[in-house]
Homo-oligomer: A and B are copies of this chain.
Amino acid sequence: MSHLDTPTESPDAVPRSLLRIQEVAAALGLTARTIRYYEELGLLTPAARSSGDYRLYDDDDVERLRFIKGLRDEAGFSLTEISQMLEDEAARARNRDRFRATSDAAERRAIIDDALARVDRQVASLRAKADRLAAMIDDAEGRRGHLLGHLAELDAGREPTPHEHPRRSGAPAAPRTRSPR
């Protein structure tokens, strides 16, 4: 229909490759609205604004957005959780600065203890999710193996060997109860 309105690259090294919202959105598979919403939630702030108040994003912004999208899509975190993680990350940076600004051992210990507690909390939360997923995965792979076994039997043209189901452990595989439908 129309050519993409990529900001014509002036050869002089301007701030270097600042993208407008729609370009970023297209590149990441998001919408402009979504990006503005994330900004509204405090998840990021564009690197700059044009004289006409256009939002301008740099590579770090794009990276940050990609990170957010990953957490949301693949890992299934809520934007609130993601916000906490980013805030935690910021807190870490601040702590690092505070740490380097003092040489009082007690103070330093306090800072580290605090940081350690935060990290432990995070790891525990992540591990809970990961364990669930791991259990589900090898449950699924168990079924996969079972199916492959049947295929092999068919290929061998044998009688189907009625064999034991290896009763998985871990997360309770989807309990069979009467469900509607």
Q: Chain A residues in contact with chain B, CB under 8 A?
A: 42-45, 47, 60-61, 63-64, 66-67, 70-71, 74-78, 85-87, 89-90, 92-93, 99, 103, 105, 108-109, 112, 115-116, 119-120, 122-123, 126-134, 136-137, 140-141, 143-144, 147-148, 150-151, 154, 157, 160, 171-181
Chain B residues whose C-beta falls within 8 Å of the C-beta of A134 in the assembled complex:
130
Instruction: Tell me the complex Cα distance, A61–B45, Å.
Output: 47
Chain B residues whose C-beta falls within 8 Å of the C-beta of A70 in the assembled complex:
132, 171-172
A contacts with B: majority SS: helix
Chain B residues whose C-beta falls within 8 Å of the C-beta of A90 in the assembled complex:
176, 179, 181
> A137 with B109: in contact, given A143-B92, A177-B61, A180-B42 (CB under 8 Å)?
no
Chain B residues whose C-beta falls within 8 Å of the C-beta of A92 in the assembled complex:
143
A144 CB to closest chain B CB, in angstroms?
A: 5
Instruction: Tell me the complex Cα distance, A1–B45, Å.
Output: 51
Pair A120/B132 contact, Cβ less than 8 Å: no
A138 CB to closest chain B CB, in angstroms?
A: 9
Q: Which residue of B lies closest to A153 (CB)?
A: B108
A-B contact pairs, 8 of them (CB 8 A): A44-B177, A45-B177, A47-B178, A64-B177, A108-B160, A115-B143, A116-B148, A119-B144
Chain B residues whose C-beta falls within 8 Å of the C-beta of A74 in the assembled complex:
128-129, 131-132
Q: Which of B75, B115, B128, B148 contacts A129 (CB 8 A)?
A: B75
Pair A112/B42 contact, Cβ less than 8 Å: no
Q: Which residue of B lies closest to A114 (CB)?
A: B147
Q: Which residue of B lies closest to A148 (CB)?
A: B116
Instruction: Tell me the complex Cα distance, A19–B106, Å.
Output: 55
Instruction: Tell me the complex Cα distance, A90–B57, Å.
Output: 47
> A154 with B45: in contact, given A70-B171, A148-B116 (CB under 8 Å)?
no
